[in-house]
Amino acid sequence: MGATEASFEARLLTIPDTASARLMTRTLSASPHMAGTPAQAATRDYVIAQLRSWGLETWTKEYLVYLPQPEVVSAWLTTGPGSTAVRLNLDEPAVRGDRTSAGPQVPPFNAYGHDGDVTAPVVYVNTGLGTDYRTLDSLGVSVRGSIVVARYGRSFRGIKAREAENHGAVGLILYSDPLDDGYVRGEVYPRGPMRPPGGIQRGTVMNPSGDPTTPGAPSTAGAVRLPEDSLPVPRIPVIPMGYGNARRFLAKLAGPAAPEGWQGALPFQYRVGPGPARLRLKVRSERGARALHPIWNTFGIIRGTTYPDEWVVVGAHRDAWSPGAGDNVSGTVTVLETARAFAALARAALRPARTVVFVTWDAE
């Protein structure tokens, strides 16, 4: 590292400031900002305004993406023969001391799950992977025609949806067991970082990347799109829940005891079922043109002095399933605070040798 580069770096590192980062974090995490929503458009405007205020050249790039938003996400539990179906409250409860938890919420859904209104006995499938279904086969338990309940962990949630569908399940519940993400691991929020009983892990259950209607092509207005019935997405409804709800039906399962390694941390013997607990799942999401939503990537640039055609890209995704302070306002603010530091040096006639582009991506 030459002296000029070393002095540039030393000056650069004096600029980032925790007060600045904290202010931007509070602004960007004031409310949920899921891709394709007006709240996410507001984060686009905020990021561009910040970059421009520091003197960067800026622009945005818009895409029109297939992002079906949920219209109905409901579940009912019947604990046994003759019992009345009880509707489950799927909303995340407010947490004392956290003002954002009492505000608007993204519905408890898994993106790209299928529409459906199904009622069936419950089967516990551990983590819902192929080896788990083979274990159930060895116990003489079939999931065909059942609603399966799988713990998060060991694999991507889209794999769990695929396996459930391939084995004949008519619906899937995903939950975080306290053994994996809860009181067994440490203090739960707000005393610590682990998931409380009502905490939900949202996310996509589509396995391919990108917009499924435009594989290999940009999702621009007027793009040729695949028909919805041909898309590589699950064909069963999928709903995420907290372990507070999951315990209500897991505790009511009969059948064989959970095999070794399947026991979670809820305070009862896990069993695999099927039943006698039964669930009804009802999911309906936007379809057709209503499922297409605009998203925006943002860009700010500081042009290099020596190698302006060589770009260094600093980026993070900007959307969130919640207020998103950790995922991914933290990343967005890191990009912004880095941009602010480079911009401060540029105003002092100190520019990097290579062009630096600061990007926030929408619809991770």
| Chain center to CA of 275 | 30
Q: Which two tokens stand for residue 276?
A: 């006698």
Average confidence (pLDDT) over 149-153: 97
SS3 246: helix
- Boundary (domain end) residue, out of 270, 285, 300: 285
Q: Are residues 93 and 8 in the same domain?
A: no
Residue 170, helix vs strand vs coil? coil
CA dist 88 and 94 (Å) reads: 16
- Residue 215: CATH number of its domain: 3.50.30.30
Which pLDDT score, from 0 to 100, does residue 158 have? 97
Element (H, E) at 341: helix 330-347
Residue 204 sits in the same domain as residue 228: yes
Residues 235-262 have a mean pLDDT of 97
Same domain, 100 and 153: yes
Average pLDDT over residues 122-131: 98
pLDDT of residue 1: 40
d(CA 89, CA 145): 24
Q: Final residue of a domain: which of 256, 285, 314?
A: 285
> Could you tell me which residues come within 8 angstroms of residue 45 by beta carbon, excluding any fewer than 6 positions away?
none
If phi over 0 gives left and psi between -120 and 50 gives alpha, with beta otherwise, what is residue 275? left
210: DSSP letter: S
Tens-place pLDDT, residues 66-79: 999 999 999 999 99
Which CATH number goes with the domain that contains 58?
A: 3.40.630.10
Q: What is the pLDDT of residues 276-320, one digit of tens each?
A: 999 999 999 999 999 999 999 999 999 999 999 999 999 999 999
| Same domain, yes or no: 127 and 241 | yes
Q: Within 10 A of 339 (CB to CB), how many other CB atoms are there?
A: 23
Q: Cα(230)–Cα(212) distance, rounded to whole angstroms?
A: 9
What is the structure's pLDDT at 80?
A: 85
pLDDT of residue 5: 86
Of 285, 305, 336, the position where a domain reaches its end is 285
Buried b (16+ CB within 10 A) or exposed e, 237-260: bbbbbbbbbbbbbbebbebeebee
Q: What is the pLDDT of residue 97?
A: 85
What pLDDT score does 316 carry? 98
**Does one domain contain both 96 and 168?**
yes
First to last CA, the chain: 35
Average pLDDT of span 172-199 = 96
Proportion of the chain above pLDDT 90, given as a percent = 95
Q: How confident is the model at residue 4 (pLDDT cuts 50, 70, 90)?
A: confident
2: pLDDT strictly greater than 50: no
- Tell me the residue range of the domain where 337 lies: 3-66+291-361
Do 179 and 219 share a domain, yes or no? yes
Alpha-helical runs (H) found in 14-126: 18-28, 38-53
Can you give the pLDDT at residue 176? 97
CA distance 142 to 338: 54
Q: Which helix (H) or strand (E) holds 317?
A: strand 307-317
Do β-strands 354-361 and 292-302 pair in parallel, antiparallel, or remain unpaired? antiparallel
What are the pLDDT digits (tens) for 328-340?
999 999 999 999 9
Q: How many domains does the chain have?
A: 2
Q: Strand, helix or coil at 268?
A: coil
| Beta strand pairing call for 238-241 and 171-175 | parallel
The yes-or-no verdict on residue 161 having pLDDT over 90 is yes
In a shared domain, residues 8 and 83? no
On whether both 235 and 299 belong to a single domain, the answer is no
**Residue of 62, 228, 286, 364 marked active site:** 364
Q: Are residues 62 and 75 in the same domain?
A: no
234 and 260 both lie in a single domain: yes
pLDDT one-digit tens code per residue, 38-60? 999 999 999 999 999 999 999 99
Nearest to 139 by CA among 264, 273, 252: 273
Respond yes or no: is residue 364 known to be catalytic: yes
* Residue 210 contacts residue 363 (beta carbons within 8 Å): no
- State how far Cα 10 lies from the chain centre: 37
- Kindly state the average pLDDT of the residues 70-89: 95
Question: Which helix H or strand E contains 269, and what residues bound it?
Answer: none
Q: What is the pLDDT of residue 237?
A: 98
Task: Verify that 85 and 56 share a domain, yes or no.
Answer: no
Q: Which two tokens stand for residue 353?
A: 């040798």
Q: Is the domain of 198 the same as that of 254?
A: yes
